[in-house]
Amino acid sequence: MSTLSVTIIQTRLFWEDKASNLQMLQEKIESVAAGEVVVLPEMFSTGFSMNPEPLAETMDGDTIAWMKDMAIKKRMIITGSLIITENGHYYNRLIWMLPNGAYGYYDKRHLFSYAGEDKHYLPGNKRLVASVKGWKVNLQVCYDLRFPVWARQTTQDTPEYDVLIYVANWPQRRNQAWKTLLQARAIENQSYVVGVNRVGNDGNNIYHSGDSMIIDPLGSILYHKEDSEDISTHILDKKTLHETRERFPFWKDGDRFLLEG
C-alpha cells in the first residue's frame, strides 16, 4: 500500500497506423517484468492526428479490446489516450484499463486549438481521479498541462490526489514549457507528476523529443529521458509524499474554488 510501481513507455509512433502501433506496443508491454501501472503516450494508436473520421473507434473497438487483453494478461493497469467516436462526435479519450477488464475514461478538456484540435474533437467536462492500492491518480492529457486550475488540488481535509499523470504528443520546439510546467504542477499540488511523451517525427514532420519525466512532490526530477525510446519502471513512495505534505502543508493555504463544466 505504501508504494506504487509506474512504467513509462516513451516511444516512436507509426503515423495513423493502428495495427503497427498496437503490435509495437504489445512487444514493449510484454517486456515489462512487473509493475502496477503502464503509461502510454497520447493517441498511442495513431499519433496526434486531426483526421478522426477514418481512425476513430467505438468503445467496443479493436484498441479497447487490445488494452483489455493486455491489462488482463500482464495483470497491470494500462493507460493512454486514443481517438473515440460516440454519438456522432469524436473525442481524444484517455482510458484507465484495469487488470480485470473494467475501465474508467477521461475526455481531454483543453483541446489544442493552435493545431485545430477543437475543430475535430469535443472537449470533456469532468476530471477523472482513479484509485489504485490506496493511491489517488489524476489523469490528464497533453495541453491540459498549461491550465493549472484544472489540475489544482481541492483544499479540503486531505489533498484530492497523490499522482498527476499527463500523456502527451508535445513537440520538441516547445519542450521547455513541457518540462517547466510538469515541475510546476508537482510543486503547487505537492504530488508526484508523471509526464509521458512520444519521440520522433510525426506525419506532419513535427519532431518530438520525448522528455518524459517523473517529478517528486518537492519538484525534484526523479527521471528524465530525452530523444530516445525508453521503457523505465519507477517506484513511488507514499512515505515521501506524506512527509512532504506534513512538513510543508502549503496545500492547506490554497484558495477555495469550484470547477465549472
Residue 210 bridge partners (DSSP): 226
Residue 200 bridge partners (DSSP): 208
In this structure, are residues 110 and 75 in contact, taking their beta carbons and an 8 Å threshold? no
- Point out the catalytic residue in the list 16, 42, 57, 117: 42
Instruction: Please give the grid coordinates belonging to residue 235.
Output: 517506484
Q: Which helix (H) or strand (E) holds 27?
A: helix 18-30
Instruction: Please give the grid coordinates belonging to residue 98.
Output: 484495469
Task: Report the Cα 204 to chain-centroid distance in Å.
Answer: 22
- Point out the catalytic residue in the list 74, 108, 179, 225: 108
In this structure, are residues 36 and 78 in contact, taking their beta carbons and an 8 Å threshold? no
Residue 114 bridge partners (DSSP): none
- Point out the catalytic residue in the list 16, 117, 142, 225: 142
- 116 burial level (CB within 10 Å; 0-12, 13-18, 19+): exposed
CB atoms within 10 A of CB 9: 24
Catalytic (active site) residue 142: yes
CB atoms within 10 A of CB 137: 23
Q: Which helix (H) or strand (E) holds 137?
A: strand 135-141
Q: What backbone torsions phi and psi does residue 3 show, to the nearest 5 degrees? A: -130, 160
Q: Which helix (H) or strand (E) holds 206?
A: none
Catalytic (active site) residue 42: yes
Q: Which residues are catalytic?
A: 42, 108, 142
